[in-house]
Amino acid sequence: MKKTIILILAVAAFASAGVLLKAQDTSYLEVLRSDVRTQRAALITKAMAFTESQAKVFWPICRRYDAELQVLNDKRIATILDYGKHVDSLTDAKADELTEQTFAYYESLIKIQRKYYAEFAKALSPRIAAKFMQVERKINTYIDVQLQANIPLVK
C-alpha cells in the first residue's frame, strides 16, 4: 500500500507543482485539479478501508468538505499565481499582501478541517474521523512539499 500511496501522490504533486506559477490556461488547471481529486479519492478509499455502510455515510460528507476546500484552494492558487507575476519585481507591500493571504489560507483550512472533523466524528466515529484527517494531512503535506520545491524564494 505504501508504494501505491507514493505513486499516486507523486503523480498528483508533480503534475501540478511545476506548472502552477506559469499557468495561464484555467482549463489546464481544471484538468490537473480533476486528476488530483480522482487520485486523492482512490488514496482515501484504499487507506480508509471503509465498510459499505461507512462509505455511504462518509462520501457525501467528504464531497461537501471537498467543495469547501476547492473554494479555498482557488484562493491559494490565485495567491501563487499572483506571486508568480510579481516574483521578479516584488515590493514590500506586495510581499506583505501575499504573506497575509497565505496566513488566511492556513487559518481557513484549519477552520474547515475542524468543522468536518466534528461532522465525520458524529456521523462515523472520532477514530475514523481522526484517521481521515491523518490521511488528509499526509496527502496535503506531500503536495505542499512539491509545491514549495517549485516556488522560488523571495529575492
Checking if the pLDDT of 1 tops 50, the result is: no
Average pLDDT, the chain: 84
Confidence of residue 9 (pLDDT cuts 50, 70, 90): very low
Task: 36-42: list long-range contacts, CB under 8 Å, 24+ apart.
Answer: 36/12, 36/143, 37/66, 39/8, 39/9, 39/11, 39/12, 40/8, 40/12, 40/139, 42/8
Can you give the length of the chain in residues? 155
* pLDDT reported for residue 20: 52
Q: What is this structure's pTM?
A: 0.80
Quote the cell numbers at residue 147. Answer: 509545491
Residue-level pLDDT at 54: 97
Q: Is residue 124 within a helix (H) or strand (E), and if so which, with residue range? A: none
- The band of 152, judged by pLDDT with boundaries at 50, 70 and 90, is confident
pLDDT at 35: 76
Where in the chain are the domains? Answer: 2-149
pLDDT band of 61, cuts 50, 70, 90: very high
- What per-residue confidence (pLDDT) applies to 64? 98
Residue 45 pLDDT exceeds 70: yes
| CB-CB neighbours of 72 under 10 Å | 16
- Can you give the pLDDT at residue 28? 60
Across the range 136-151, mean pLDDT stands at: 86
Three-class secondary structure of residue 126 per DSSP: helix
Coil, helix or strand at residue 79? helix
Contact 5, 43 (CB under 8 A): yes
Provide the sign of the torsion angle of the four alpha carbons 81, 85, 88, 90, taken in this order.
negative
- What pLDDT digit, counting tens, does each position of 63-90 carry? 999 999 999 988 998 898 899 889 899 9
Per residue in 13-41, pLDDT (tens digit) is 444 444 455 555 566 666 667 777 888 99
Q: Which three cell numbers stand for residue 115?
A: 468543522
